[in-house]
């Protein structure tokens, strides 16, 4: 079933095949499409292991599920965090996303209980009530649902993990997170610390955002330290935890870094996937109708509980298709820390290795008509017939997304609730294929403007 990797050598026998970026730059071709499309074309033209150089650095792109499995499982000890994550420590500190071993494993052990199955079940009610509060204020007519999804995902993370009831300053948090995301690609430039101090609007927004989030998070920590009752959320867990191996507690700084990481990692990703999903269902009335029918049959007019999750397989499949076509983390990247081999080719220390979700999720060997929306690909039989790493929106191995369970429940319930209560209609002349911007996460370009009607 799983074809072996298609490995092609280049004229230089020590390197796999790949594009000559310099030639493309000189011919003006390199930047005509997005980076995600560039990686997709590489796979089609050069096979399952592609080499190119960018900014004087060796880059190896892997495009086959077996190679992806090795990347996450067998080869993980040979990897460091990628350059963007390393530089991202300037804004995120040393939280789960950016830290290296052994700190990462210790932090992961301490945070994990907040994401276990019984905890996630308790989050179901929050997802339902936050979605209903948000959609209750919607008015029939034209609306951009992308900022709505960002706000919703932020409120859900705030309530589930930090017990923040009213995120009164939701705009300030959203603006800070946006400024962080925009700065991340710049953070690995030389003089990035000096860039942060520049008197220009984007850097002022970054500085203000950082100061605002620091105040919010250190404020929450100080309040909880004064009154250390267990509120059953992630923050209580982080503050109360002592490591089973060395019996030390987390410093305020470490708790802060974990909180900021979770806020950042846990809201834009889910919101982007939901936004793409809403765009797609607006343009596929048949899919929207099935989604609506399932939601009415299962939920009638009540809010979902954890027991409903397995009873909404179509909503789950629609969310899966959005994650397949528009994976919020569209490429997973690592830096080679110790020389090793991929398919017989030596990977030098310092090289970048890319495992691009955007490419593998559209590989015609595993996905018939890969660019088409078809939630039936996620029926149990179809899922079982594909290799594990043909679909990996949440990555894998020891760095697999810690919030995956929450994201699945959130994506499934929000789609079901919106489709139950609202009809989404595309605006005249709008494109059925959403335009995606591959920033740090894959974002819908220009938001998701739709006509909405109450059912
Ligand atoms: C659709 C939504 C989401 C997607 C597609 C997603 C995807 C990912 C991916 C691919 C990674 C691995 C990154 C890497 O290896 O470099 C990751 C890591 C992570 N995600 Fe998510 N994520 C989502 C939602 C969430 C949520 C809801 C939370 C928390 C509330 C969260 C928190 C994290 C954290 C803390 C990490 C770092 C884990 C570690 O290295 O141990 N994510 N996510």
Substitution site in 95, 116, 158, 403 for ligand 1 pocket (most atoms within 8 Å of beta carbon): 403
Q: What is the pLDDT of residue 440?
A: 82
Q: What is the pLDDT of residue 135?
A: 95
Helices then strands (H, E): number in the chain? Answer: 17, 12
Report d(CA 209, CA 230) in Å as an integer: 29
CA distance 163 to 153: 14
- Judged on CB neighbours under 10 Å (0-12, 13-18, 19+), 373 is buried
261 near 97, Cβ under 8 Å? yes
Nearest Cα residue to 143 out of 322, 268, 301, 282: 282
Q: Which residue lies with its CA nearest to atom 15 of ligand 1?
A: 399
pLDDT surpassing 80 at residue 112: yes
Place of tokens 């993370």: 157
132 CA from centroid of ligand 1 (Å): 25
Give the C-alpha separation, 81 to 99, whole Å.
8
Q: Which two tokens stand for residue 326?
A: 């528009």
Residue 222 alpha carbon to ligand 1 centre in Å: 27
**Mean of pLDDT values over 186-199:** 72
Q: How far apart are CA 335 and CA 66, in angstroms?
A: 19
pLDDT of residue 166: 56
Contacts of 400 by beta carbon, 8 Å cutoff, 6+ apart? 72, 394
Per-residue model confidence (pLDDT) at position 163: 81
Give the span between the Cα atoms of 417 and 454, in whole angstroms.
12
Atom of ligand 1 nearest to the CA of 392: 10
Q: Output the CA 165–ligand 1 centroid distance in Å.
A: 23
The pLDDT score that the predictor gives to residue 183 is: 76
**pLDDT tens-digit readout, 412-430:** 999 999 999 999 999 999 9
Ligand 1 centre from 101 Cα, in Å?
A: 17
**Two tokens at 94?**
């040393």
Question: Alpha-carbon distance 54 to 82, whole Å?
Answer: 14
Q: Which atom of ligand 1 is nearest to the CA of 95?
A: 35
β strands within 109-247, DSSP E: 141-144
Q: Give the per-residue pLDDT at 345.
A: 96
Q: How high is the pLDDT of residue 30?
A: 55
Q: How much distance in Å is there from the Cα of 140 to the middle of ligand 1?
A: 34
Domain ranges of the chain: 1-93+330-392
Sign of CA dihedral 168, 88, 188, 154: negative
Closest by CA to 414, choosing from 269, 233, 268, 270, is 270
Tell me what the pLDDT averaged over the chain comes to. 89
Length of the chain as a residue count = 455
Q: What is the pLDDT of residues 293-323, one digit of tens each?
A: 999 999 999 999 999 999 999 999 999 999 9
Indicate whether this model's pTM tops 0.85. Answer: yes
196 Rama sector, left if φ>0, alpha if ψ -120 to 50, beta otherwise: alpha
Ligand 1 centroid to residue 344 C-alpha, Å: 31
Tokens 């029926």 belong to which residue?
379
Please give the average per-residue pLDDT across 74-82, as a whole number: 94
Which range has the worst mean pLDDT, 141-155, 227-241, 441-455?
Answer: 227-241
Cα 63 to Cα 70: distance, rounded to the nearest angstrom:
12
Task: Output the residue whose Cα is nearest ligand 1's atom 1.
Answer: 270
Residues with CB under 6 A from ligand 1: 96-97, 108, 157, 261-262, 265-266, 269-270, 273, 328-329, 332, 393-395, 399, 401-403, 406-407
pLDDT value at residue 188: 65
**Two tokens, residue 265:** 């990692």
Out of 324, 334, 356, 401, mutate this one to test ligand 1's pocket (max ligand atoms within 8 Å of CB): namely: 401
What gap in Å lies between CA 251 and CA 275, rounded to an integer?
A: 37
pLDDT digits (tens, 9 = 90+) for 113-145: 888 878 888 889 999 999 999 999 999 999 999
Residue nearest to atom 41 of ligand 1 (CA): 399
User: Confidence band (pLDDT; 50, 70, 90) for 403?
Assistant: very high
Distance (angstroms) between ligand 1 centre and the Cα of 198 equals: 31
Residue owning the nearest CA to atom 20 of ligand 1: 401
Beta-ladder partners of 454: 422
Question: Domain 1-93+330-392 belongs to what architecture?
Answer: 2-Layer Sandwich (3.30)
Which helix (DSSP H) or strand (DSSP E) does residue 87 occupy? Answer: helix 83-92
7-52 pLDDT tens trace? 998 888 899 999 887 665 555 555 556 889 999 999 999 999 999 9
Q: At 428, list the tokens.
A: 């005249």
CB 269 within 8 A of CB 329: yes
Both tokens of 213, joined, read: 């989030």
Q: Which parts of 139-222 are beta strand (E)?
A: 141-144
Using the mean position of ligand 1's atoms as its centre, give its distance from the Cα of residue 401 in Å. Answer: 4
Res. 244: pLDDT tops 80:
no
Measured by CA distance, the residue closest to atom 2 of ligand 1 is 270
Token duo for residue 192: 């990035």
Q: Whose CA is nearest to atom 7 of ligand 1?
A: 394
Residue from 81, 269, 360 whose mutation best tests the ligand 1 pocket (most atoms within 8 A of CB)? 269
Owner of token pair 């002592």: 242
């Amino acid at each position: 079933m799983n074809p072996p990797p298609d490995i092609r050598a280049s004229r230089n026998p020590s390197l796999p095949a790949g594009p000559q970026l310099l030639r493309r730059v000189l011919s003006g071709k390199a930047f005509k499409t997005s980076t995600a499309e560039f990686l997709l074309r590489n796979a089609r033209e050069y096979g399952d292991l592609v080499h190119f150089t960018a900014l004087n650095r060796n880059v190896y792109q892997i495009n086959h599920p077996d190679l992806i499995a090795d990347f996450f499982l067998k080869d993980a000890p040979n990897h460091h965090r990628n350059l963007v994550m390393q530089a991202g420590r300037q804004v995120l500190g040393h939280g789960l996303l950016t830290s290296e071993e052994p700190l990462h494993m210790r932090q992961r052990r301490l945070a994990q209980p907040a994401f276990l199955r019984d905890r996630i079940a308790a989050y179901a009610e929050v997802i339902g009530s936050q979605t209903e509060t948000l959609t209750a204020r919607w008015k029939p007519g034209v609306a951009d649902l992308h900022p709505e999804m960002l706000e919703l995902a932020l409120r859900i993370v705030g309530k589930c993990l930090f017990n923040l009831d009213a995120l009164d300053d939701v705009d300030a948090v959203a603006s800070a997170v946006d400024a962080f995301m925009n700065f991340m690609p710049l953070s690995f430039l030389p003089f990035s610390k000096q860039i942060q101090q520049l008197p220009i609007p984007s850097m002022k927004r970054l500085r203000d955002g950082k100061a605002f989030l620091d105040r919010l998070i250190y404020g929450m920590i100080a309040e909880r330290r004064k009154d250390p009752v267990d509120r059953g959320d992630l923050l209580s867990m982080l503050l109360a935890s002592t490591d089973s191996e060395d019996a030390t507690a987390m410093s305020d700084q470490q708790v802060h870094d974990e909180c900021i990481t979770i806020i950042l990692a846990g809201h834009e990703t889910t919101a982007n996937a939901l936004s793409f999903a809403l765009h797609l269902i607006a343009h596929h009335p048949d899919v929207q109708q099935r989604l609506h029918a399932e939601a009415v049959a299962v939920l009638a007019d009540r809010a979902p509980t954890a027991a409903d999750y397995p009873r909404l397989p179509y909503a789950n499949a629609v969310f899966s298709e959005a994650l397949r076509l528009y994976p919020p983390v569209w490429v997973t990247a690592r830096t080679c820390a110790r020389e090793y081999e991929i398919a017989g080719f030596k990977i030098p220390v310092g090289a970048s290795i890319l495992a691009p979700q955007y490419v593998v999720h559209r590989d015609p060997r595993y996905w018939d008509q890969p660019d088409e929306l078809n939630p039936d690909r996620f029926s149990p039989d179809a899922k079982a017939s594909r290799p594990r790493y043909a679909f990996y929106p949440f990555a894998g191995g020891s760095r697999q997304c810690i919030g995956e369970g929450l994201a699945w429940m959130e994506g499934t319930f929000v789609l079901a609730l919106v489709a139950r209560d609202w009809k989404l209609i595309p605006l005249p002349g709008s494109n059925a294929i959403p335009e995606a911007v591959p920033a740090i996460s894959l974002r819908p370009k220009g938001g998701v403007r739709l006509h909405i009607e109450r059912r």
